[in-house]
Chains A and B, each alone.
Chain A
Amino acid sequence: MAILLSFDIDGTLELGDPPGGVTTEMVRKARDVGFIIGSCSDKPLSVQRKIWEDMELTPAFVSAKHQLGKVRRENPADAYYHMGDRDTDYMAAKDNNFGFWWAHEAAEQPWLEFDMNNHEQIPITT
């Protein structure tokens, strides 16, 4: 079961500007559990890569926010989720058939509720 989690940065990750409620430790745990992780943000790609370096994590992808469709095409998975704090995040997720969590919801790590071995329990979109 492959599930992709796309993190917005500003207003979502604690290293964002402004900082959000999703900590580096939460992202690390998601990776350790087995999620495919990466970022989709309006930040320059080079800055996104630097943030991942600072988190000492290797993302499966970094992408501009409007390129979620490309992320889907290039990263095969059974389910896709994006999280962010802006309407533009929501619209990008909706347009590309990603599930979506607002940043404050993402800070609750809803992905940890998933049973990775039970496909039927995992909603494709929220």
Chain B
Amino acid sequence: MAREVNWERNHDPVGIWNGRGKAALVARGHSPTDRRWDGESLDKSLGAFMMIAVQNALDDAGITIDDVDGIIGSAGGQGNGQPLSDVWGPRPYFDAPYDSEDGLTHVTGQWLRQQMGFKNLRYINNHGDPVWNLIGQASQAIADGRAEVVVVTYPNGNLPGRYHQDPSNQARGPAVWPNTWGWGLSGQGFTFNQYCQKYGTNHDRMAPFVVQERKNGLLWEHSYYAQHEPGEFTEEDYLNGRMIARDLSIFDCDRPVLAAAAYVMVSADRAKDMKQKPVYILDHTESQFSPRSLVQTIDDTEEWTDIQAQRSYNGSGLKPEDIDIFAPYDGFAVFTQYYIEAFGWRGVKRGEAHDFYAGDISLKGPNPLNSGGGNMGTGRMRTVFITDPLEQLQGRAGDRQVTTKAEVAVTHGVLPITAGTVVMSTSPD
């Protein structure tokens, strides 16, 4: 299937979305969360985990496979279906259905259809991007009438061995600058260092934020830490983290894990009959930028995130004070302040995020930032950024349920350079 184009809302002015309130997110399902695949246990492969997650999502929605007429997924968690982790091959594969990468390091809708027996699909798309974009794409497909009951799939793998280690001994083109210093890390540290210089702050002031996220994550049953490392992460832990680039510590980086999640999205009409309370999609917007130079700067970052925030506000008609639940991405923890400041959540302006972190961002306080714990608190799954806002708005977040109003949520990720924003509400209006 060719990549579907022109579904994104990424050209200003976007205007109020004509699909507003026509699609709803109703249910979620998760697999177990492991640190990595062992390379042998096929019942713990990414494909096996994806099937568990899909079945759990269907059960949560109170529907069967026969009700589903669409699957939208990012086969491997990244753009163009690329694996978020590394690939298994070239190595010997296994007997069918594990005789290729499909089912091991990525999971396509076609593979799921074959293994799970979906019979009534009329729409399959595997070319999605990070999970925010997938929710946006599914919302658009439903609003456009191309499907009525869509399962959104999001698998994230992690294999034995080093993570994202570039085997090449050469760096060409723009890669000559960052790659000689390690995968993707030095650039993030560089931008954050510029942020610190611009606003007179420093790395240690991130500690309250990361520590709070780890606390929140321990309350999410699917978190890697809740399942495998349930101890408290302290400020002492954070401040003693090894710096792996200037102004970027090992504890600013999310921990790669193996997990899969699935979501059931339906038309507003079908939402009325679902087992769970519907959460309506008020807007989705997307963005893609290019740096002015070889390396992303703080000026780029602030310009891009300002555009992302304004685009979302224009598309939803909301204002900062309308956002109850805010879930800005934190795959590198140093991303998050750019988003908070751009969206102006809780009145935070440029350069003020670290002061905000030093205040009360606790789960039961007035500013429950990333109430699900983000990637820092759950592992590199990204799906907590959908599941937690969904559960908060449905009022079934359990111990994580915030005490503030939870009627409108905005979730945003993945990178400043390319992102999707989804606006959810308990009301379709």
For residues 38 through 63 of chain A, which have their beta carbon under 8 Å from a beta carbon of chain B?
42, 44-47, 50
Tell me if A17 is interfacial: C-beta within 8 Å of chain B: yes
CB closest residue in chain A, given B162: A86
Indicate if the CB atoms of B231 and A64 lie closer than 8 Å: no
Indicate if the CB atoms of B160 and A45 lie closer than 8 Å: no
Tell me if A18 is interfacial: C-beta within 8 Å of chain B: yes
B250 to chain A, nearest CB (A): 5
Indicate if the CB atoms of B242 and A46 lie closer than 8 Å: no
A88 to chain B, nearest CB (A): 8
Known contacts being A17-B35, A18-B160, is A44 close to B242, with CB within 8 Å? no
Consensus secondary structure, chain B interface: loop
Consensus secondary structure, chain A interface: helix
A44, B243: Cα distance in complex, Å: 13
Known contacts being A17-B35, A18-B160, A42-B250, is A50 close to B240, with CB within 8 Å? no
Interface residue from B36, B160, B234, B243 paired with A46 (Cβ < 8 Å): B234
Indicate if the CB atoms of B35 and A46 lie closer than 8 Å: no
| Chain A 65-78 interface 0/1 with B at a Cβ cutoff of 8 Å (1 = within) | 11100000000000
A50, B240: Cα distance in complex, Å: 16
B379 to chain A, nearest CB (A): 12
Indicate if the CB atoms of B232 and A46 lie closer than 8 Å: yes
For residues 189 through 240 of chain B, which have their beta carbon under 8 Å from a beta carbon of chain A?
229, 231-234, 236-238, 240
Indicate if the CB atoms of A44 and B251 lie closer than 8 Å: yes
Indicate if the CB atoms of B236 and A46 lie closer than 8 Å: yes
Known contacts being A18-B160, A46-B234, A46-B236, is A64 close to B241, with CB within 8 Å? yes
B36 to chain A, nearest CB (A): 8
B154 to chain A, nearest CB (A): 24
Indicate if the CB atoms of A64 and B233 lie closer than 8 Å: no
For residues 55 through 108 of chain A, which have their beta carbon under 8 Å from a beta carbon of chain B?
64-67, 88
| Chain B 145-163 interface 0/1 with A at a Cβ cutoff of 8 Å (1 = within) | 0000000000000001000
A17, B379: Cα distance in complex, Å: 14
Known contacts being A64-B242, A66-B242, A66-B243, is A46 close to B237, with CB within 8 Å? yes
A18, B158: Cα distance in complex, Å: 12
Indicate if the CB atoms of B240 and A45 lie closer than 8 Å: yes
CB closest residue in chain A, given B241: A64
CB closest residue in chain B, given A18: B160
A65, B244: Cα distance in complex, Å: 12
Additional A-B contacts beyond A18-B36, A45-B234, A65-B242 (16; CB < 8 A): A17-B35, A42-B241, A42-B250, A44-B233, A44-B234, A44-B238, A44-B241, A44-B251, A46-B231, A46-B232, A46-B233, A46-B236, A46-B237, A64-B241, A64-B242, A88-B242
Tell me the B residues contacting A by CB distance below 8 Å.
35-36, 160, 229, 231-234, 236-238, 240-243, 250-251
